[in-house]
Amino acid sequence: MLVSCVHIPRFAVEVERQRRNDVATRLILIGDATVFDCSLGAEASAVRPGMRMSEAIGLCHRAIVLPPDLPYYQRRFDEVLDFLDGYSPAVEAGSLGATYLSLVGLAAEPDSFAEGLIASLHRQFGFMAAVGIAEGKFTARVAAQTTRPGLAKSVPPGEEASFLAPLSIDLLPAGETILWRLGLLGLHTMGDIARLPLGAFQAQFGPEGRRCWELAQGIDSEPLAPRVKEETVVRRLQLPARAVALEAILVGVERLVYAAYASPDRGGRWVRKAVVRAALDGGGSWELAVPFREALADPRDAWFAIKNAIARHPPERPVDELEVELMGLSRESGKQAAMLEGKGKLWRQVEEAARQLRAQEGRTPIGKVVEVEPWSRIPERRTALVEFDP
């Protein structure tokens, strides 16, 4: 399946540069205790996402440090995803700044498609993306990550392994421990891994190792998981004056909850989740998701749950603007029916069946599979069947 990966490098930094003129030409570190994202100049000083902030400041002392505003980055990323929906019927959101598009049935040549996409994204949002095209998500992503922003890289079918061979194992989606062990064994490129026999590699590194070996060979059967665009009801309120007290914030949110429930867009449907957002004084945002235990049709029930949630996790700073979004709209009331954790009808039936069987047989012939030592090289140590005991 031909896939295109659209990668906007340093997405959070680019978003902050667009939002704040005062940091347009500064070195930027975004994060709190650890670095979430950093500008190209900071990367040149050996700063990397995930690094401790104190260490990063030591390496790049002229940089300005910004607190991460994840809700705002996500909203900007959602705008990009909405835009890309116009280019492909199947769009999957990867990590922040990375998107996969299915190119199956595309009329245009992939290369000209990619160039058009890069130009449109720049025109529309000011983001400079790199695009990778390949038969598989991993190779497409690596192609995009290793290509300069503004350019496209296409890997012809059958040439995935040779394209990946000289590239660093750091591009593999593997844990730090496995990468460290690979380094100790002198395996630094994907070609080093691809040359090894699968059996020996898997015996050493387990199922995660097998996945790495396959990816290094350019074998990637992971399907595209297109995002489902959800219908929601949103209401916003610009506060007449900055709200400092929690009571004032609650009054604003209450108005929004009732207004959203009264909206014709809801169409009498039940609501499974609400998200409350606030634009904070001095920049930054606050977001609180409130999933309901069951779908709610009455705004009073929803408000009760939302009010309690806000009281537990209030905004840390004064608020300028509020927003409430109702999600998971459904025609029927829904009850959570998790197989083994919930208390739904199915669960009660399973419990009852187990009790009856135990009364008849003296034991429960129902088992539950549990992971024991999933990392073990000895297959029978990895999982076990435990008697189901409700």
Partner 1 sequence: MVAHPRAQNRTSRIRPLNRPRPLQVEAGEDGRPIAVWLSSRRHAVEAVLETWRIDDEWWRERSVSRLYFSLLLEDGRTVTVYRDLVSGRWWEQSY
Chain residues that interact with partner 1, rule: CB under 8 A: 197-200, 202-203, 367, 369, 372, 377-387, 389
Nearest to 278 by CA among 261, 253, 259: 253
Nearest distance, CB of residue 338 and partner 1, angstroms: 20
Beta pairing class for 130-134 and 152-154 = parallel
Alpha-carbon gap, residue 78 to 230, rounded angstroms: 12
Alpha-carbon gap, residue 142 to 167, rounded angstroms: 9
Q: Is 359 exposed, middle or buried (0-12, 13-18, 19+ CB in 10 A)?
A: exposed
Question: Which of 20/210 has CB closer to partner 1?
Answer: 210
Nearest distance, CB of residue 353 and partner 1, angstroms: 18
Nearest distance, CB of residue 375 and partner 1, angstroms: 12
Residue 61 phi, psi dihedral angles, 5° rounding: -75, -15
Question: Which of 33/378 has CB closer to partner 1?
Answer: 378
Nearest distance, CB of residue 4 and partner 1, angstroms: 34
Question: Which of 40/385 has CB closer to partner 1?
Answer: 385
Apex CA 352: angle with CA 349 and CA 356, to 5°?
140
Question: Which of 74/383 has CB closer to partner 1?
Answer: 383
Question: Which of 82/373 has CB closer to partner 1?
Answer: 373
Instruction: Supply 284's token pair.
Output: 């930054």
Apex CA 323: angle with CA 248 and CA 76, to 5°?
140
Report the 10 Å Cβ neighbour count for 164.
26
Question: Which of 74/364 has CB closer to partner 1?
Answer: 364
Nearest distance, CB of residue 64 and partner 1, angstroms: 52
Nearest distance, CB of residue 389 and partner 1, angstroms: 6
